[in-house]
Structure 1
Amino acid sequence: MFKNYLKIAWRNFIQQKWYSFLNMSGLAIGMACSILILLWVRHESSYDTFHANADQIYRLTAIANEDFKAAVSPAGMVEELPQLMPEIESSLRLGYPFEELFEVDGQKFKESSIFYADTNFLEVFTFPLIEGNPKTALSRPDGILLAEITARKFFGSERALGRTIKINNTDTFTVSGVMADVPSNSHLQFNAILPMTYHAKTNSDLINKVWDSFNFYGYFQFRKGTITSEEDLSAAIEKINQIYAARMTEFEITFNLQPLKDIHLHSNLQIDVPGHGNIQYVNIFFVVAFIILIVACINYMNLATARSSRRAKEVGLRKVIGAGRNQLIFQFFGESLMIAFFSLILAIGMVYLALPAFNDLAKKQLELQLGDANIWIGLMAIALITGLISGSYPALFLSGFRPIKVLKGRMKLSGSNLFFRNGLVITQFVVSILLLIGTTVIYTQLNFIQNKNLGYDKSNLIYIPMEGELWGKQEALKTALEQNVLTRDFSIISDLPANLVTGDFDIHWEGKDPNSQVLFPHINADENFLDVFQMTLLEGRGFSKTSSDNHDYLINETAVKIMGMDVENAVGKSLTFRENKGTIIGVVKDFNYKPLQYAIEPLVLQHRKEGSLAVIRTAPKSTENTIAVLEGIYGALNPAYPLSYNFVDTSLDAQYKGEQQMGTIFNVFALLAIFISCLGLYGLSSFMTEQRFKEIGIRKVLGASALRLVNMLSQDFIKLVIIAFFLAIPISWYAMNKWLQEFAFRIDIQWWMFGLAGFSVLFIALSTVSFQSLKAANADPVKSLRTE
């Protein structure tokens, strides 16, 4: 019997090539989209799971003022807590990622993503070495660990262990280990690791083992069996907070322990390592994968029911000769499963073809590893679920035909069948409208971010770092920049107003509440800062070039409000910052100095004539000439270093790379889902015209025009679109409003976004339906009436 069903399914598949092609195309595209998304979701959810002790490792994070949550912690606290808490097996500190100039055999390389790490780095984390001993790799202050890709860049195919590298033209390090390339699903991405013992020679935080300066990432490995529940974790956090409160009575800081596996997707923290994901995006795309698969299944159902009248007599004859309904259900499920598994093979081919483009889009290194048994289990599950879902309604619907009616040609659809099928189409419309609204909102928000007035002009700003000899030649650099008309509009600052990571509680002003604890970020800037960045001074004056006093302060509007002052009376008040007593000389209009996910915080600008960055405003259309001038100046003052420059607007745009990638991926899959829906609409319009074929012929004989017939056949779809539109509005508003909550500065969802999506879906639906309607309206009525 089973063999017979397979034969029948295969014959139907071969005889009805166009119908089979539509079914397979819809299911294959839906499966391919779902597989790509699920590969991405799987990769995002797998971060840091490869570490042997992943379940015992936690990162220490800090919370100040309830609103300021940071990924950093004090160096001394991380080092000493294991002595105060026996449940902690070991602790590990990492410094901020930075870049350095490497020199190998006379060749120079500028490398980024360099970390300082404690000696037990390779004991806490599982990064295998391909050269060297993991127990001693960071034991010597002049040792250096290289990632495999960095070692190949420096030494080619030669052995790197024991080779020497000069850093910043001063210190020489010996390669003490080469790590296998860092897995792409690691929240730590680095090219080299330097010993913390080397950093401890000059870093005051490490020398003094401070508990009040937050400049390091701290990790704890707890003993096995210590933390097995949320209650155990809460108890450990409470104990840490009690120890800190007893040690540092003047600060109100609370700490949290973040599981290692949660860092990538659950880190809405400031001063964090770059490259984190977002659990909300993972959830969104997981739902999108499921929706696309359901849309593909609905497409199959619609196409199957569209041909119901052609299968009705087959069903009637089978029932007459003794076939039971269960046998017919089994047959139709067999057909849908066969098409689903054929579609899976086609989908796998599509995935292989699309993976390079998708990886480029998502900035990932995803692979479909068919040698992995888990992958095959997942693929088989997708095909099985798809086949069962897509075949369920056709099997139950077609097998329920009564043989007497269908053999007499009096088959009539019940109201429940019409209701269910219309519900399927409404679901497709709802999905299409939701995806289009989501696409519109995401695009509008990203466009808003790119074009928002940040409070300063970010265009035409080039910045160069103070490296090597430039640190001691800043006056000479200023003189050289002033002498050329292309570079004379410059400012020397400590940090870019793009993603400021500084912050200090040591600030006092007139009338401050002694119990008040407010974190104040700050920027050191010279007298040109306001002019170069074209910021607005609301009151007072800027820094003076002739003043030698480094205790002049500018503050922003938010700082004025927090201090309980007015913009008009803040100027002239005394301000003490980091024990440096000075005077507020001006108030700057609020500007965004952090990503737009964060609200504007109070800011202190301190007058300094030296800094770590030189920012130059170029004249329009003179950027290339300005860079050429900078190369000459840099080469004369700092010949050992190649010129390293970047653009402020490029740095700002990079902060929203994750959102931009998410938006692009969302757009692609939204279009594909709509395309699959069009196949389903084609099926339903085919079904409706087939059901009303004789009616169309009679109306045409009686004088109905083709336009009138198209209008008649399209009315039902217009009703379905309207119903779907009103169902989609509250769902889309809730979902997109929740996404927008991540941004302190965001757009308002406008009515036109809903209208545009609704009109677009209506246009697409009518265009799809009109093709089938025109085909039926232009058919010869004799063909439909000749049996009457």
Structure 2
Amino acid sequence: MCNLGTSLVNHKSILSNKDTSGVDFIYLSVVMFRLNLKIALRNLWKNKGFTFINVGGLGIGLASCMILLLYVNYEWSFDKHFENHKNTYVVYQNVPSSGKIFSWAWTPNVMAEEVREKIPGVQRSSRSTYPRPNLVTYGDKKIKDKGVFTDASFIKILNYKFIKGNPDAALKNVDGIILTKTFAEKLFGTEDPINKTVKLDNTNVLKVEAIIEDVPANSSIQFQYLMNWALFEKREPWVRDRNWGNNMCLTLVQLKNNAPYDQANAQIKDIYKRNQNGNTAKALLFPLDKWHLYDQFENGNSVGGKIDQLRIFMLLAVCILMIACVNFMNLSTASSEKRAKEVGVRKAIGSTRKSLISQFLLESLILAAMSTMLALLLTEVALPYFNQLLDLHLIIPFDNWMFWPFLIVLMLFTGLIAGSYPALYLSSFEPVKVLKGLNLKVGSAVSIRKVLVVFQFVFAVCTIICTAVIYQQLSFIQQKPIGYDSHNLLQVAVQGNLRDQNKLNLLKQNLLKSGAASSVSFFSYDINEGGNNTMDVEWPGKELKQDVLFNHRGVGYDFVETIGTQLISGKEFSAQFPNDMTHMLINESAVAMMGLKDPVGKVLKWNDKSWTIMGIVKDFIVESAYQRAAPMMFYPVQYSGAETILIRLNPSANIEISLTKIDEAVQQIEPNYPVDRKFVDESFALKFKNEQLLGTLSNWFGGFAIFISCLGLLGLALFMAEQRKREISIRKVLGASTVNILTLLNRDFIKLVVMANLIAFPLAYIIVDKWLSAFEYRVSISVLPFAMAVTLSVLIAMLTVSLQSVKVTKANPIDALKYQ
């Protein structure tokens, strides 16, 4: 210590000498840095337990922050990889109906042409189907995957990278197809696919015109191949009709670089009204690079979407990191008495407060560097589980040069924030007092540490409450009746020969004869997905300006019986009444919306035809499980064609055997397609994916935050026990029991936790109330989550404090009193 002190004094006197040259100053600065580094490393090695806890706490905090930021960055980057993403827009439609405005990105097939020709500032526009699965065959290889029918403007707007083929000639030929790199490799292996032919749905022979790079995972439009729109018209003749009331495709618009968005958006607003008398829909241009994050609309305006989830994760990442920093502060100042004499000696031999602050900050930066390495290791280990949970492929971007400056800034920020208060506090000790062994004035330090602990537990309590409410809401929606029986209900995609209604009817007969099914029907869409809608409906007593949006689906015979819903009045479609081709079923919401009394037998007008209401069906969920059932019309599936076979499994038969029989029956009629089947309840569960993800991540990272908060509380308990060990020893000598002392020590901490709960309750209530406001069907905010938060936080605090306090109460009081 004497040599160290002499060295410090000599260096200080040289550095303070005004005649010292610049070279000498730099040299001596380097020497001082090396000296401080040695001292820092020795202190960290000497206090291995302190170092281990701090590195562990900061490492977990940094790892949690990194994982969350990787996920946020991935979601934020959606559709921003396209070269012209800032000038590219999705055409949305706002439709007023029943006092509300409904918004979606479905538009008529004539929208793209009209926009390109009539709206100033438009450089390109394209129309495309939404990705849908089709069977693509090459030789013996048959792959069913998603493809898109579109035009040549589509690949210019989104500028996919061409590996092979001519971009200027692509999608000009009605029988041309563009494949992604991975899909081409699956079909052709090592062969050159250009100019080779494949079959689409065993019907259309298409020539491979080009190969493009795989569609990035962070792209809103996912496909494996592109085909000409003219082929779509060839396969589906109804698509050729120029109909402004038929919303059936996606329209993308690219403005010129200098084109004003506001002017184009104002021009497109009344495009429906200009082209169809009485059409009250409004169009708007919505930025492509916001489509993924801001797709939730309310009364015609974007009010959020996945961006709300990202904000929660960003807040979670920042709070976890700050909690880790607070934990570092508490643990550092908890060991203040051990460092007090060191500070006193160094000040006595000439060290300035500035040099001491530098010393302590250097120690915290070393700890931050060690924590960062641990965080990278933990992140690398945790990412596979995280990717499996999210169905993603997130990686640490070591090869991205921007990652390293970000990591260094994050490390420096963490080290400086975490070490700032300990450095200022420890460097403030007066040498005379600490060397004489006098008690330090720690009131302000304790107060600040108490504030920090309260902050930690405010966040922990908010996390507990929010997670509990998320799971309550999820359970409420999942247990809420959906209007039909999804258990043991199977749906099989209609493909190939099955598109023939006679073949479908034959399949139904075979399934019923096999004993695998108790009932079979058909549906025009997947029963859990959105479909067609219309406002072109008239009914008796309809007001002139009354606009109501109806969903409409085609259904087969015995539909009500098959899905297990309720027929309130009238009858359903049945083979006993084969002539009901101009009849329809409507649901309860449609009856209420039209205000019809005794609706059975009333005549509606839709699609230039008259339809007689033959029955009323109970409302059931088809689209969103969180919103009320929309008015719906059900017409004979022969009118539009079936896309799904609904099969009610025979409850008395073995499920595995029944599934085998179903596969055999389907393959017997259509052997060229793989059987595409799924249980309805499993696909229905996918509707809750976002909420389940939010709940799971909140649970995991909230747990990490609580764990780190416990380390912070442990730091304060260590400090308080160190400061009060003489008092505790005197109480023990005077006869106080271990329980009495534990009660004394726990009482102060319980007060802090209760205070944190009182602060957290209103914050948590505001957060969960805002989150729940997005759901029409929502759970009420009960006392249970708040009571659970209080109980857990108090138990955690008591356990954490007691584990440390027991060590102090078990210590020999003579050790603490012999120097008094």
Indicate the residue corresponding to 2:564 in structure 1.
534
Distance 2:687 2:159 in 1: 29
Contact 1:462 1:646 in 2 (8 A): yes
Aligned-pair CA distance for 1:279: 0.5
Q: Is 1:775 matched up with 2:804?
A: no
Q: Tell me, in whole angstroms, the C-alpha distance in 2 between the residues paired with 1:728 and 1:751.
A: 14
Mean Cα displacement is larger for which, 196-205 or 142-151?
196-205
Counterpart contact for 2:296–2:305, Cα < 8 Å: no
- Superposed, 1:490-569 pairs within 5 Å as 490-547=520-577, 548-566=579-597, 569=598
**Structure 1 208/490 Cα, relative in aligned 2: closer, same or farther at 3 Å?**
closer
After TM superposition, list the pairs within 5 Å mapping 1:116-195 onto structure 2: 116-195=149-228
**Pick from 607, 614, 624: which aligns with 1:595?**
624
Structure 1 equivalent of residue 649 of structure 2: 618
Corresponding residue of 1:707: 739
User: How far apart are 1:636 and its partner, in Å?
Assistant: 2.0
Alignment of 1:470-509 (within 5 A): 470-472=498-500, 473-509=503-539
The 1:243–1:740 alpha-carbon spacing in structure 2 relative to 1, beyond 3 Å, is same
Partners of 1:266 and 1:638 in 2: CA distance: 42
Q: Distance in 2 between matches of 1:527 and 1:204?
A: 26
Please give the secondary structure, in 1, of the residue aligned with 2:296.
coil
The answer as to whether partners of 2:477 and 2:626 remain within 8 angstroms in 1 is no
Match of 2:78 among 30, 44, 47: 47
User: Which structure 2 residues correspond to residues 83-94 of structure 1 after superposition, within 5 A?
Assistant: 83-94=117-128
What's the offset of the Cα at 1:6? 1.6
Name the counterpart of 1:366: 394
For 1:451 and 1:614, the matched residues in 2 are separated by: 26
- The Cα shift of 1:372 comes to 2.0
Q: Is the 8 A contact 2:530 2:622 kept in 1?
A: yes
Query: Bigger shift: 362-371 or 30-39?
Result: 362-371
Q: In structure 2, do the counterparts of structure 1 residues 607 and 199 end up closer, same or farther at CA, with 3 Å as the change threshold?
A: closer
Whether 1:76 aligns to 2:104 is no
* Structure 2 CA distance for aligned equivalents of residues 175 and 600 of structure 1: 44
Deviation (angstroms), 1:207: 2.2
2:682 alignment counterpart? 650
Superposed CA offset, 1:66-111 (max 9, x none)? 4311111111121222111231011111102111122211222222
Q: Counterparts of 1:438 and 1:207 in 2: how far apart (Å)?
A: 51
Deviation of 1:784 after TM superposition, in Å, equals 1.3
Counterpart pick for 1:252 among 277, 280, 288: 280
Q: CA 1:476–1:205 in 2, change beyond 3 Å: closer, same or farther? A: closer
Residue identity matched to 1:3: R
Aligned to 1:273: none
Partner SS for 2:282: strand
- Which residue is 1:383 aligned to? 411
Q: 1:413–1:592: structure 2 CA closer, same or farther, 3 Å change rule?
A: farther
Residue 675 of structure 1 corresponds to 707
Matched, 1:423 2:451: yes
The one of 553, 559, 584 aligned to 2:613: 584
Deviations 1:187-230 (A, max 9, x none): 11111111112112244565233322111110111111113xxx
* Contact 2:531 2:552 (8 Å CA) reproduced: no
Q: Does 1:738 align with 2:767?
A: no
Could you say what secondary structure the match of 2:173 adopts?
Answer: coil
Shift of the 362–643 alpha-carbon distance from structure 1 to 2, 3 Å rule, reads closer
In the alignment, residue 195 of structure 2 is paired with which amino acid? G
Correspondence for 2:242:
209
Letter in structure 2 aligned against 1:123 = K
Which residue in 1 is equivalent to 2:264?
Answer: 236
Deviation at 1:447, TM superposition (A): 2.4
The question of whether the paired residues in 2 share the 8 Å contact of 1:77 and 1:210 is answered with no
Matched, 1:296 2:324: yes
For residues 213-271 of structure 1, give each alpha carbon's deviation from its aligned partner in whole angstroms, at most 9, with x where no partner exists. 111110111111113xxxxx33211111234322222110011111111111111269x
**Other-structure match for 1:15:** 46
- What is the alpha-carbon root mean square deviation over aligned residues? 1.9
Distance 1:277 1:44 in 2: 12
Structure 1 residue identity aligned to 2:535: F
User: Which aligned segments of 4 or more residues in structure 1 are displaced greater than 6 angstroms?
Assistant: none
Whole-angstrom distance in 2 between the partners of 1:243 and 1:188: 25
Q: Corresponding residue for 1:109?
A: 143
CA contact (8 A) 2:649 2:658 kept: yes
Find the counterpart in structure 2 of residue 336 from structure 1. Answer: 364
8 Å CA contact 2:530, 2:623 repeated in 1 = yes
Equivalents in 2 of 1:439, 1:534: separation in Å? Answer: 34
Deviation sequence 1:514-548 (CA, Å, 0-9, x none)? 21111100122234111222212333333343221
Q: 1:243 to 1:534 in 2, by over 3 A?
A: closer
| 1:300 Cα deviation from its structure 2 partner | 0.2
The aligned counterpart of 2:673 is 641
Give, in whole Å, the separation in 1 of the partners of 2:506 and 2:814. 95
Name the TM-score, length of structure 1 as normaliser.
0.95
| Deviation string, structure 1 residues 467-493 (Cα, Å, up to 9, x no partner) | 111122122122212323321311122
The aligned counterpart of 2:56 is 25
The aligned counterpart of 2:465 is 437
Amino acid at match of 1:91: S
Offset, 1:746: 2.0
> What is the CA–CA distance in structure 1 between the aligned matches of 2:706 and 2:549, rounded to whole Å?
49
- 1:105 maps to amino acid: G
Q: CA deviation at 1:390?
A: 0.7
> Per-residue deviation at 1:41?
0.9
SS, match of residue 305 in structure 1: helix
Amino acid at match of 2:619: D
- Matches of 1:331 and 1:205, distance apart in 2: 78
Stretch of structure 1 that moved more, 33-42 or 603-612: 603-612
More moved, 385-394 vs 731-740:
731-740
One-letter amino acid matched to 2:258 = G
Distance 1:162 1:678 in 2: 65
C-alpha displacement at 1:608, in angstroms?
4.1
Moved more, 614-623 or 330-339: 614-623
Aligned partner letter, 2:421: Y
Distance 1:695 1:63 in 2: 72
- Further displaced range: 676-685 or 604-613: 604-613
Q: 1:157 to 1:662 in 2, by over 3 A?
A: farther
Q: Quick one: which of 250, 255, 261 aligns to 2:289?
A: 261
- Is 1:762 the counterpart of 2:799 in the alignment? no
**Could you tell me which amino acid in structure 2 is paired with residue 541 of structure 1?**
K
Cα deviation digits, residues 590-642 of structure 1 (max 9, x gap):
22221223332111122446632211111347321221111221122222222
Alpha-carbon distance in 1 for matches of 2:661, 2:230 = 40
Q: TM-score normalised to the size of structure 2?
A: 0.91
Give the gaps of 5 or more residues in structure 1.
228-232, 271-275
Contact 1:362 1:665 in 2 (8 A): no
Distance, in Å, in 2 between the alignment partners of 1:145 and 1:64 is: 35
* Corresponding position: 1:665 with 2:697: yes
Name the CA distance, whole Å, in 2 between partners of 1:370 and 1:635: 49
Count of residue correspondences: 775
- Contact persistence 1:596–1:743 (CA under 8 A): no
Query: For residues 756 and 515 of structure 1, do their structure 2 counterparts lie closer, same or farther at Cα, with a shift above 3 Å needed?
Result: same
